[in-house]
A and B are shown apart, each in its own frame.
Chain A
Amino acid sequence: MQPRVDEAGQGGDRKTAPGGGSGKRRWGGRRSTAAPYLFLLPFFAVYSTFLLYPTFSALWLSFQEAVALDTPSFIGLENYVRLVQDERYLHALRNTTVYALASVFILSPLALAVALAIRSFLVPSVNLKSFYRISLFLPFITSFVVIALMFSLVFNKDFGLLNSFFRSVGLPELNWLRSERLAMLSIVLVGIWTYLGVNSLYFLAGLQNIPHELNEAAAIDGANRRKTFLYVTLPLLRPTILFVVIQATIFSYQLFEIPFLLTNGGPSDATLFLSQYLYEVGFSQFDRGYAAAIGYSMALISIFLTVVQLLLYRRFTR
């Protein structure tokens, strides 16, 4: 058979080119084996430099005493032991967990309710649904700085939107951001405003994947809306619920900008989150080793909670 000659004038018979054992290996063949790796190289270079290296470097740093510019020295697990004795760390952990619980048990059900409302009879027009989808996504893509500035005005005690409303209906004014009792609630409310829309979209996508036939079959079998939701919709939404809950948990343990900008962790640490405490230890106290240990503790907590959620999911889907 006459080998096909390509435009570059090189043999193009794939059966005889690489691995032919003829000793006539051509540069084109060699290049073809290296090419995929070369295409991948930029990614691996960036990934190794900016993700893998810092990840392992931070792990190593967490086993060291590295304060300010002093030469770091290996101290084993001392930084991790210090975590459980550090009252501020434990306080920040409690605050972060409270926020994570609010994300899971308040934000996620609300998002599901909004998704159901958009999909159901409440928003019948297709155009209106598109409008809702866009407007729900907007808070998620708004800069945290803008959100914080906006809510600092909303929560302002003297001329804020919320207190103006309270005044107009005869309710007492509240010191939203400067009361130890209310500051965390304020942060949770901002979190709900920011993430409600995008979580609703996740649920909407999940709901769209449920075949109509199943709902129709349930209706034919005599199931009302509540039963259809409980026994058809909800079980089929489990993967979406799992995704929403896992990402809500992870985001909660990474929360930094909103409390930092709105309350700066105050008043008196009432809204101190783990990420801000890490920042304080790392950049204010300049205790890099301990800050790395805090970072790893946050990662371990997120991984642990994700595994627990996955196991629970498997158990309930059996």
Chain B
Amino acid sequence: MSTGVIGFRRPRLDRLKAGATGNLARAIGGNRKALVGLIVLAIFVLLALFPGVLAHDNPNAEIYKRSAGPSAAHLFGTTSYGQDIFSQWVFGTRESLVIAVVAGGLATVLSVIIGVSAAYRGGFADGVLSLFTDVFLVIPAFPLVVIIAAYSKNGGNTILIAVLVVTGWSYGARQLRSQALSLRSRDFLVAARVRGERTWRIIVFEILPTMTSLIVANFLGAAVYAVLAAAGLQFIGLGNPDSMSWGTMLFWAENNEALQAGSPLWAIAPGIGIALLGGAFSLLNYAFDEIANPALRPVRQARRERG
């Protein structure tokens, strides 16, 4: 290993990363909202990984009594096709979670690339990228998503995720760009440039670690968007109706007039699932806001001593 600049930078990066993760962990632990969000998320992850533990029935099997109410055998009742709703709900966790994480993650990656590049390049490139970002930001995502999905009717989840990423990256790109801009003129970056560091190295090793908390916050926001938008699309039938996810559950429930027919849990259970998952990401996001901006943290008052 050469003892040049690379050797020099390693310890600093490690320290930065360790410091950042250590601080992060401590900060999350100390924040009530973050803890709640994290616990809910953990529960969902467990359900997604091991659905068979909790739900014993095959979610697709249409063998039970139709439209039954909740009972000991069927916690949430059955659908009008005779399927166990609880099983569907548990098995549906996986797909909803995967869509949220993958779409959210990819959108964040895109945001980082475009936002930070725009800020770092500056000038004309920045102007073009910013305009591009702003246009995509302003165009209402859902109508666009609906149209794209309508044109590609039977694309399944891949198209769904692609469409979510295409419409979800712009908000983050804007935020990341403005933070990167403020960092751009900081001394440690000027020093890196003077050292002769190549652009991408500066971006990856100097700028990004400093922006970790904003990137994570962006991911959480993108995940919320993905959860809600995916559910919305599946609800109106633009997803893959044969897949097992909460959105498609809602679709079938609506198609069979579950609310009016007296098996409302068919619609309510997945709805609550979506709300809880989105809510968990949202809470974490809110907590991150507080962690990143100390001014927003709860304030203590104290008593005065006499004399």
The answer to whether A and B interact is: no
Residues of A within 8 A of B (CB): none
Residues of B within 8 A of A (CB): none
